[in-house]
Structure 1
Amino acid sequence: MPTSPTPALARRLGLVDAVAIGLGAMIGAGVFAAFGPAAQAAGPWLLASLAIAAVVAYCNATSSAQLAAVHTAAGGTYAYGRAELGAWWGFAAGWCFLIGKLASCAAMAMTFAAYAAPAGWERPVALLAVAALVGVNLLGVTRTALATKIIVSVALLALAIAVAGGFTAPAAGGAAFAGELPLGSLGLLQAAGLLFFAFAGYARIATMGEEVKDPARTIPHAITIAFVIALVVYAAVGSSLLWALGASGVASSNAPLADAVSAAGWGWAAPVVRIGAAAASLGALLALIAGIGRTGLAMAREHDLPPFLSAVHPRFRVPHRMELAVGVVVIGVVAVADLRGAIGFSSFGVLLYYLIANLSAWRQRREVRRYPRGMQALGVAGCLLLAFTLPWQSVVAGAAVLAVGMAGRVLRLRRERARSGE
């Protein structure tokens, strides 16, 4: 099926903009949503799980950077998979991205509401946050980048206060890597899979390849810079939480960073941390909506989603119909979902997405290769291992939704062949 003749997106983002959007997607997801569930699985070995997640994520990041330097259209691994492996692989990547990141949007909206809403008002506030940020995205990508820079700055300031406070608290947890794993070695891998949820934000940079200036140079640099900054932040936060609360305290807390500064006697800092958590969650949600919109645009252009979703707004130059559709779906998920289930479901879909990214990078020719094939092989193995050691409910639900998407494409292709034979 030939690509639909739709208007191109405008190249308006520089390196700082791209790094900010990647950080906005990462900072918030890992710091304020994933450490608690991960500590339940890994206990005092939480930082070891973070290291495993970081290795897999770095392999995926380098594959994404290598691919983005060659394939500069919007769509991320959906576009890369189509170009390097074929249409079915591209569809599988795009579908996994959509289902995983729609769940991520719901998780970020619920995290924002948990920190910002009065008791009993969490779900309505989460719904309003989704609607408001869809509106921001509809105003244009430069406004998205500006809003993300502001949000990331607030979040990093709050995190710096939280880390400093955590390290001044009396030691509660002893040394990391001391003590038994609550769920054995499987728990170590489960925690790594849940913490991987925190690193997937660099995909937002790759999916916006059609809007970045000099994408062959900017995107690889932006992915690496955003990843390194996020890793340093996560390591500092994880260490301070273990110091102040211990593994059991992190696992049992709904707001571990606020509890850590309270343990240090920094009562004044708890509201600051809550503001930072709310800002970080909004930043992640804002960048996620933008990234899903661009992947959906690419899929609609190839008729893997309804073609009317491929429209680009003539003034604001954004995929407005796709972003509105994203908002509707996420609002529906927020209305019925729970935070922990959303994180596991999202991790499963995104790990399969990056599995295809690594396979696509493996297939690239030598002259465009930036990283050794061994890194892509490690990325493939790591994605498979972490995906299928997640809680079984997440694996079953993710596999079922993936199967529904693949079956839907089979039916669409059959209908198109039947029409062409008439």
Structure 2
Amino acid sequence: MAQQLELPRRLATGTGAIPLGLGGMLGAGLFVGLAPASALAGVWLLLGVPIAGLTAVCCALSTAEQSAVYRGPGAAYACIRSQLGIAPGRIAASTYLLGQIAAMAAIASAVGAYLPTSSPVIAAVAILLTVVAATAGLRIRGGAAWLWLCLTLTVSALVVAACWAIAPLPPTGVPAGGNTPGPTPMGIPAAAGILLFAFLGFERLTAPAEERDRYGRPAVRRGLIVMFTIAGTVVVIVSASVIHQLGAARLALSPTPMIRALQAADAAALTSLVGVGVALAMLPVLLGVLELFRSTALAVLQDGDLPASLGRRAGSGTPYLLDLAGGIAAAGLAFLVEPAQAIALAACCVLVHYAFANAGARVLLVEDRTWRMRMTCLGVGLCVILAMSMPVPAMLGTLGAAVLGPVLAGVLFRLRR
């Protein structure tokens, strides 16, 4: 019993919270999201970083409040369904699940793109390995989480050093598109929506599906302060460095910005090392996204809006059919769309979900007149603005999930009665 009581005291310090959340933040948004963000806003994308960070802070605080009341998987979804109604809950769940599937597709495609032998098959293999690892009960925590976080920061530091070690070449010619006007400050909200992916992953700290991952409120607040400070600083430094070396136009055309920046900085000898490092750094992020998908999907399944057979458990206790279904969907999407398109779709879907999540938290805190209630209101507004600023294909895909998801869930629920 003494050992069982000691663990919560140690966790209450929040020392394990930093790699748990930060390791999930610095992934696709940093290594893949810079190119589509630059295509939307050019050099103005740097102004999108604080907007994305503020939006993520509002969402993190809302999910922390919801998790304190709705324990277990899918706390944000459970709050939305309870406070706003069944239809908003189904819309939020549908967009969130599609968003996580698109995020897995974007991350897996980026893993394949950064490896020296790039192939679309690698994306499917990466997702399959992630599903197998999740089914086996693999959990990257403690020292392993710190190790992968250090790998991400080391790779980022190498790229930054190379970008500033040599003066960039002057721009030559007009980028593809002829004399069409380039990105303007009007693209900042859309770029902020893409860059939101550099701050996602906080739910692993604020709304864990399992009690063993839960931290006390003071530890969560300290962890969020440290996590968002480090993530924001890293994104700004890396973005400024890559823009300095490539320029906004070339960055927008770079599917692998870190590799292109090294090549432009006459550091081609480091491309294989950095490429493998980036791919390895994103594998735990892929596993973390699958965990977030599973958490909400389990809550939806418990409400009868998904087939009950998907909840079948493996020997490790994980719902292997649910993980496999999400992995197959992500692999299929990775073959159909480019990583930039997948990350835009994922961002738009997640923004819609968090708009509902902030609204649900606002109702939950209706008696609270402090800054926490005001942050939820700010979160609703920011999520709506950023979602409405996303590229049209991403909005159409999100709209499809928001319409078809609740309809299919309603039909399935009626059939199961």
Does the alignment reach a TM-score above 0.5? yes
Aligned residue for 1:210? 210
Aligned CA distance change for structure 1 residues 97 and 370 (closer, same or farther; 3 Å):
farther
**How far did 1:332 drift?**
2.1
Gapped regions of structure 1 (runs ≥ 5): 1-10, 175-179
One-letter identity of the residue aligned with 2:277:
G
Matched, 1:234 2:235: yes
The alpha carbon displacement at 1:366 in A equals: 6.5
TM-score, length basis structure 2: 0.86
8 A contact 1:22–1:287 mirrored in 2: no
Aligned: 1:107 with 2:124:
no
- Whether the aligned pair in 2 keeps the contact of 1:169 and 1:261 (CA below 8 Å) is no
Where does residue 303 of structure 1 map in the other structure? 304
Shift of 1:182: 2.6
* One-letter amino acid matched to 1:133: T
Distance 1:404 1:140, change over 3 A: same
Q: Secondary structure at the match of 1:73?
A: coil
Q: Matches of 1:46 and 1:135 in 2, distance apart?
A: 37
By how many angstroms is 1:411 displaced? 2.4
- Pairwise CA RMSD: 2.7
Q: SS in structure 2 opposite 1:305?
A: coil
8 Å CA contact retained: 1:137, 1:143:
no
CA distance in 2, matches of 1:400, 1:116: 33
Partner amino acid, structure 2, of 1:69: A
Instruction: Give how far 1:128 is off.
Output: 0.8
Structure 2's unaligned 5+ residue stretches are: 1-7, 172-179
Instruction: Supply the distance in 1 between the matched residues of 2:138 and 2:28 (Cα, whole angstroms).
Output: 21
**Which amino acid in 2 is paired with 1:158?**
V
Compute the displacement of 1:106 (Å): 0.4
Deviation at 1:390, TM superposition (A): 0.7
d(CA) in 1 for partners of 2:163, 2:70: 43
Aligned twin of 1:94: 93
CA 1:370–1:106: 2 relative to 1, 3 Å:
farther
Deviation at 1:51, TM superposition (A): 2.1
**2:91 counterpart SS class:** helix
CA–CA distance in 2 between the matches of 1:135 and 1:305? 22
The 5 A counterparts of 1:44-193 are 44-119=43-118, 122-143=119-140, 148-170=145-167, 182-193=182-193
Instruction: Look up the equivalent residue of 1:98 and give its one-letter code.
Output: L
What's the CA shift string for 1:128-155, capped at 9, x where partnerless?
Answer: 1111111111122535776554333222
CA deviation vs aligned residue, 1:53-87 (integer Å, no higher than 9, x gap): 22222221221222223323111311221233333
Deviation string, structure 1 residues 14-71 (Cα, Å, up to 9, x no partner): 5455543423332121111110111111112120122222222222122122222332
C-alpha displacement of 1:193:
1.6
**Deviation of 1:375 (Å):** 1.6
CA distance in 2 between counterparts of 1:207 and 1:173 reads 47
How many residues align? The count is 398
How far 1:369 moved relative to its partner?
A: 8.0
- Distance change in 2, residues 1:268/1:368 (3 Å): farther
Aligned position for 1:198: 198
Change (3 A) 1:402 1:144: farther
Q: Which moved more, 1:87-96 or 1:44-53?
A: 87-96
State whether structure 2 residue 24 is matched by structure 1 residue 25. yes
Contact 2:205 2:215 in 1 (8 A): no
2:44 touches 2:185 (CA, 8 Å); kept in 1?
no
Give the structure 1 partner of residue 264 of structure 2.
263
1:73–1:80 Cα change, 3 Å:
same
Distance in 1, matches of 2:264 and 2:258, equals 10
- Counterpart AA for 1:263: A
Match of 1:360 in 2: 360
Deviation at 1:400, TM superposition (A): 1.4
Alignment partner, residue 177 of structure 2: none
Deviations 1:191-230 (A, max 9, x none): 1122123222213444533243444435554444333322
Question: What is the deviation of 1:368?
Answer: 7.3
| Greater shift in the superposed pair: 100-109 or 56-65 | 56-65
Write the distance in 1 (CA, Å) between the matches of 2:72 and 2:396. 33
1:4 aligned residue: none
1:220–1:411: structure 2 CA closer, same or farther, 3 Å change rule? farther
1:375-390 counterparts in 2 under 5 A?
Answer: 375-390=375-390
Which residue of structure 2 aligns with residue 345 of structure 1? 345
**Distance in 2 separating the partners of 1:144 and 1:126:** 24
Do 1:113 and 1:126's aligned partners in 2 also have CA atoms closer than 8 Å?
Answer: yes
